[in-house]
Every structure is written in C-alpha cells, then in structure tokens.
Amino acid sequence: MKETDMAIDKEQEPADPTNGAEPLVHLDPASGVLGDKPLPDADASLFVLVVGSFKNADETQAARQHCVHDLEVLRARLFPKLRLPVFFLGAVFARRDDAADSLAQLASCPKAQKGTILESGIAGRKSHGGHH
C-alpha cells in the first residue's frame, strides 16, 4: 500500500482476513477524491518491484535518484523464496497493475537502473514480470 492508501473495516465485528472483502481506500492527493477497491484475499500473490543490484544498504541509498524516491531500500532475505539481489531499491504491491505503473514511472529517470517485477505467491510460486 502507498501512504495514501488505507484499509477500512466497515463492519462492527472483526472481518475475516481471508475473504478479501475489506476495501482499500485511496486518497488521490491531486484531486482530493477518495476511491475504494477490494483488497486481495490472504492467498493472493504479492508483486515485488526490484530496481538495481547492490552489495549493501549504503550503496543502495547512494544510487537513489529523485525519480525513484517512492522506492525503499530492501534486502533479499525479506523474500526467501525469490532470487533477488542482496540489496535493491523496491516496493511491494498487492496488485500487478500497481507494480507495473510504478515500473513505468522509471522511464522518466534518465539514469534509472533496470527494473523488474517478481511475483511471490503463498505456495512459493514465482514468475518474472515486465522488464524496464
């Protein structure tokens, strides 16, 4: 989720986290409009945007450009079932299209590192997504 996203439980009782019925509420900062869409269920895949390959966190941070300011310094051990660089700039998304949108924004970076989207499922399946 992005910092402008928020999950809201519309029911009085605790919701079943596996049914995916809770909405994701998103505030568009430009328009001030609130929108919502359902969250994926607990068995849904996560999509990891991976940009660059670095030996340590300092090297990763030094490579950060203004156009990738939304990406975080992440490490491979956070995703043990995926083959990832030791350190990389990245983000985790619940929806492939959100990851693809973020990857597409890298095109505006004059010196952007190559980016890719990897899928991490509950059962450990993985697939290579779009490349930049």
pLDDT in tens, 31-74: 777 777 665 666 778 899 999 999 999 998 888 777 777 889 99
Q: Look at residue 105 and tell me whether its pLDDT is greater than 70.
A: yes
Long-range contacts of 103-108 (CB under 8 A, 24+ apart): 103/49, 103/129, 103/130, 103/132, 104/132, 105/67, 105/70, 106/51, 106/67, 106/68, 106/132, 107/132, 108/67
For the chain, give the mean pLDDT: 74
**Predicted pLDDT of residue 39:** 58
Return the DSSP state at 100: H
Q: Which structural domains are found in the chain, ordered by start?
A: 5-38 (no CATH), 46-131 (3.30.70)
